[in-house]
A and B are shown apart, each in its own frame.
Chain A
Amino acid sequence: MNQIWNIARKELSDGLRNRWLVAISLLFAAMAVGIAWLGAAASGQLGFTSIPATVASLASLATFLMPLIALLLAYDAIVGEDEGGTLMLLMTYPIGRGQILLGKFVGHGLILALAVLIGFGCAALAIGLLVDGIELNLLVWAFGRFMLSSTLLGWAFLALAYLLSSLVSEKSSAAGLALGVWFLFVLVFDLVLLALLVFSEGKFNPELLPWLLLLNPTDIYRLINLSGFDGASAMGVLSLGDDLPVQGLLLWLCLLAWAGLALALAYAAFRRRAA
């Protein structure tokens, strides 16, 4: 346990020192405030519209950003140490590979969680203070759910980053793969699903299709954030989610399972890696 924290505290202090934490927090805060007040500009309105609309817009933007940030933060976690020679050195220390991996996960995970808390938390505070007649309960509930699910989504992609970082032998390949993973889950997956819907012309088992959404953590994340608001109807592929028998708490568990599974796979890959 102590060893895990020894690794985690280094990652955490690295994150503070190279200003990742500050940068991500600022980005999140700017994004949230911008969307809250300017999000309705397209429909000819300026100023705050509603909490559901704000959170929905924020969630669709975070779907792109959160995985990207997590992958950038952690893609070189293993292969980078290997190239610097410190991985082999650590292996000669009384610390196990599982402890190294978990330590990195805790450190990076804390950076992401703190950035979400600071960035979006400040935005929520600003909305609560500046907007008249806001429903505080709804604000806390909606933002709390959004912030928690965003963190979970980030953790799932951190674990995916460790997986690919354990598999490759060069940092540049890890960077390329990370970009590939991002493309796959954030862009390609939904397009393929959409194509499947269109070209199968209903021949594809309609009971099975919604389940496919669970294969993508970003879709689970969107389902969590878009459901639960009355009237906020899902668009595009996500409308499949209306037919999905998995709802509420189960969706959260699915996202958590994604992080856990990816971390287990990363551990398996890391164990097989030659020292």
Chain B
Amino acid sequence: MNAVDIQGVSQRYGSMTALRQLDLHLEPGEVLGLFGHNGAGKTTTMKLILGLLTPSEGQVRVLGQAPNDPAVRRQLGYLPENVMFYPQLTGRETLHHFARIKGAALQQADELLGQVGLAHAADRRVKTYSKGMRQRLGLAQALLGAPQLLLLDEPTVGLDPIATQDLYILIDRLRQQGTSVILCSHVLPGVEAHINRAAILAGGQLEAIGTLTSLRAEAGLPSRIRASGLQQREQLLQHLNVNGNQTRLLGTDGIEVTGSSRGKMELLRQVLSQDQPNDIEIFQPSLEDLYRYYTERAGNAHAAEDKA
């Protein structure tokens, strides 16, 4: 049973189309990164999965059931993008309140506060919390009742680098326990290693979805290989140039070759067989590069459509 099944879903507000023919599936224990500009349809997708919206077209199933089913909601954790909580309650009271409504054990509150690093502030009122602390309280709230499916909307906003790292470690652990996670984010660096697949939305349409490897192959963005400590770099350069690669000299004894991601291994073999470099660096297209590529492509397509 998939954690999330979205089939042919369109969402319209009046004459505006927020989502167009979206198909999205999430397997148990999978972490999906959902990326896109503001207005790309991320929030709408989240709200559909949360059962806060009914799709204008198509079908949404969460954990095999309708998303607004109370049984589903007990299995689901959600961290909203910006939640103030109740300023007059303490962190612990806030968690107790939400635990009661979710039907989770109250003892979980203290465990979770410890897990997100708020144990020292458990008895302080939420109005004294910083943005990062509220964010962590929100995360603890989302983890109440050990959910099967976790939706995190901009979870790293307001978190310092160490807290961000802790969050990613927590996500890795949850994934190992079989929790499915959807992570909506603007912050791309650092998240790559912690997601199974990335989905890129633009203008209400799913532009790309897949593992980073498959996205790289699909986009055909170039990889760069830098080799240094070469003995006969001129010769190597010539050889690579003949084969139609883009090359340039680097420092006193290094070169940089730019080639397609697909031909990366072949290039490496050539470099290693022709010379004895003492160091090699490989720069693959990052998530940011892929994101830029796909959103720009979508933008160009829209511009062409408008012209036609």
Q: Do A and B bind each other?
A: yes
Residues of A within 8 A of B (CB): 3, 6-7, 10, 14, 17-18, 83-86, 88-95, 275
Is there an interface contact between B102 and A93, defined as CB atoms closer than 8 Å?
yes
Given A91-B52, A94-B74 in contact, is the A85-B88 Cβ separation under 8 Å? Answer: no
Is there an interface contact between A94 and B70, defined as CB atoms closer than 8 Å?
yes
What are 17 A-B contacts with C-beta separation under 8 Å?
A6-B101, A10-B89, A83-B84, A84-B84, A85-B82, A85-B85, A86-B86, A88-B80, A89-B80, A89-B98, A92-B50, A92-B52, A92-B73, A93-B102, A94-B73, A275-B47, A275-B53
In the complex, the chain B residue whose C-beta lies closest to that of A103 is B101
Given A14-B88, A18-B88 in contact, is the A93-B98 Cβ separation under 8 Å? Answer: yes
In the complex, the chain A residue whose C-beta lies closest to that of B82 is A85
Question: How far is A89 from B86 in the complex, measured between Cα atoms in Å?
Answer: 12
Question: Which residues on B sit within 8 Å (CB–CB) of A90?
Answer: 101
Is there an interface contact between B73 and A85, defined as CB atoms closer than 8 Å?
no
Question: How far is A3 from B78 in the complex, measured between Cα atoms in Å?
Answer: 19
Question: Which residues on A sit within 8 Å (CB–CB) of B47?
Answer: 275
Question: Which residues on B sit within 8 Å (CB–CB) of A84?
Answer: 83-87
How many contacts A-B (CB < 8 Å)?
A: 58
The contact of B76 among A10, A14, A18, A92, by CB within 8 Å, is: A92
Is there an interface contact between A92 and B85, defined as CB atoms closer than 8 Å?
no
Question: How far is A94 from B98 in the complex, measured between Cα atoms in Å?
Answer: 10
Given A14-B88, A93-B73 in contact, is the A88-B101 Cβ separation under 8 Å? Answer: no
In the complex, the chain B residue whose C-beta lies closest to that of A91 is B52
Is there an interface contact between A93 and B86, defined as CB atoms closer than 8 Å?
no
In B75-122, which residues have CB < 8 Å from any A CB?
A: 76, 78, 80, 82-89, 97-98, 100-103
Is there an interface contact between B80 and A85, defined as CB atoms closer than 8 Å?
yes
For chain B, the count of residues having a C-beta within 8 Å of the partner chain is: 27
CB B245 to nearest CB in A, in angstroms, measures 52
Question: Which residues on A sit within 8 Å (CB–CB) of B97?
Answer: 6, 10
Chain A at the B interface: mostly helix, strand, loop or mixed? helix
B51 at the interface (CB under 8 A from A): yes
The contact of B101 among A18, A83, A85, A93, by CB within 8 Å, is: A93
Is there an interface contact between B50 and A86, defined as CB atoms closer than 8 Å?
no
Question: How far is A90 from B47 in the complex, measured between Cα atoms in Å?
Answer: 13
Question: How far is A88 from B81 in the complex, measured between Cα atoms in Å?
Answer: 11
Is there an interface contact between B73 and A89, defined as CB atoms closer than 8 Å?
no
Is there an interface contact between B102 and A94, defined as CB atoms closer than 8 Å?
yes
The contact of A275 among B52, B83, B98, by CB within 8 Å, is: B52
Is there an interface contact between A6 and B100, defined as CB atoms closer than 8 Å?
yes
Question: How far is A153 from B256 in the complex, measured between Cα atoms in Å?
Answer: 82
